[in-house]
Structure 1
């Protein structure tokens, strides 16, 4: 099993990684901003479903196969690039399409935000964003293993990997709630439609940038 020494080193690192402004955290912030805290929290089920599947695959050994397969990994990367750029472009286009001349100074009410999008749709977006991002795969295949005690047998190492994965998902959930809550608090200050539209455009632009960075980055697994 894991020792306190392992956890003392692992938990701060996990919190730092989970808090980073990646594609999923940015999406949680936007969901909190546009749809309210409850919808944003329910949407997180999509992200963590994808993470649990990834962790199960890694523990089962299938993640190692994908991790070592250049073709499979590149296919996953292309899917992630297409989705992030396409989703970001859609957000930008939607923000422009929602522009109503003469109504920019109106404020968006909490009731309007809560009915902005059904939680199931937001959960699907969270799931695809997490599942199509090869950096999420690298998280479980490259970030977790160094914290495993390699002196243990294969079964014990697998248990340690699974437990570390669960701890990371807990850290990710805590940080995701903060991101979603930050978006909700910002909206609660009486955000104007113009400001909301600009934030949407910034979020969409950031997703396009993430996708572009993913397209040109060298995600070496050696």
Structure 2
């Protein structure tokens, strides 16, 4: 289905893209830190559901429409940026409204009520679906690796295989971010430190969203 040459070039590139800091990886780190590995891993279902839908969009040709329509893409970009900024502001506000008693002492685990698993799944899904860079990943990053010529598999089949391989790389990278969050949690940070980490995470999400709103992601 995929040649050895395709795999040799695509796999390292996919791992590099998947492991890079981004909104979803930041959420994976935060969930691993605040909720523990199991809820953080369950939350990844949301991310990969969004990715699977995006891959389906690309295979059915709708991705090409977004790629060609600047107006449609700009609407998607601005909407996604607003969602991401809103999520970041919510995280920052949640950290700021923590009880004053949380300013002291050592954090010993997920002591505060955590959202239901579906809530974490929804956060991952919305963050992935709202980010047009993720759609560009499937519309611009995958197609150059599709082989043509005699004996090559149909393009749609290759896109499915490349998309599945990318999502495998994404899963490995996401688990690494979850593990990093868990490692920080094991150091038993103070509650004040935890609050500041949460505020930093929210601030980073705001910056990601703001950068997305200001960036020129046109495909001219």
For normalisation by structure 1, the TM-score amounts to 0.94
C-alpha contact 2:32 2:181 (8 A) present in aligned 1:
yes
Whole-Å separation in 1 of the counterparts to 2:120 and 2:135:
21
Q: Which residue of 2 aligns with 1:160?
A: 158
d(CA) in 1 for partners of 2:52 and 2:67?
17
**Residues 213 and 111 (structure 1), Cα distance of their counterparts in 2 relative to 1, 3 Å cut:** closer
Structure 1 spans left out of the alignment, 5+ residues: none
Query: How far, CA to CA, are the matches of 1:19 and 1:155 in structure 2?
Result: 29
Could you tell me how far apart the structure 1 residues matched to 2:144 and 2:208 are?
26
| 2:170 matched residue in structure 1 | 172
Taking the aligned partners of 2:5 and 2:93, their CA distance within structure 1 comes to 49
Cα distance between partner residues in 2 of 1:120 and 1:197: 23
RMSD over aligned Cα atoms: 1.6
1:63: how far off? 1.2
Counterpart of 1:4? 4
Post-superposition offset of 1:150: 2.9
- Are the structure 2 counterparts of residues 155 and 63 from structure 1 closer, same or farther at C-alpha, using a change threshold of 3 Å? farther
- Find 1:127's aligned residue among 122, 125, 128: 125
Instruction: Give the aligned partner of residue 100 of structure 1.
Output: 100
Pairs aligned (count)? 220
In structure 2, the partner of 1:181 is: 179
Report the Cα distance in structure 2 between the residues aligned to 1:99 and 1:198, rounded to whole angstroms.
14
Is residue 56 of structure 2 the alignment partner of residue 56 of structure 1?
A: yes
Alignment correspondent of 1:136: 134
Between the aligned partners of 1:53 and 1:72, the Cα distance in structure 2 is 18
**In 2, Cα distance between the equivalents of 1:38 and 1:92?**
24
Counterpart selection for 1:190 from 188, 191, 196: 188
Give deviations 1:135-184, integer Å, cap 9, x for gaps: 00000000011111133699711111110000000000000001011101
**3-state SS of 1:112 partner:** coil
**TM score, norm. by length of structure 2:** 0.95
Instruction: Return the alpha-carbon distance in structure 1 between the equivalents of residues 24 and 183 of structure 2.
Output: 18
Per the TM alignment, residue 111 of structure 1 is displaced from its structure 2 partner at its CA by 4.7
Task: Detail structure 1 runs of 4+ shifted over 4 Å in the superposition.
Answer: 152-155
CA spacing shift, 1:59–1:154, aligned 2, 3 Å: farther
* C-alpha distance in 2 between matches for 1:84 and 1:152: 44
**Matched residue, 2:22:** 22
Q: How does 1:38-117 map to 2 (within 5 A)?
A: 38-101=38-101, 103-112=102-111, 115-117=113-115
Contact 2:146 2:155 in 1 (8 A): yes
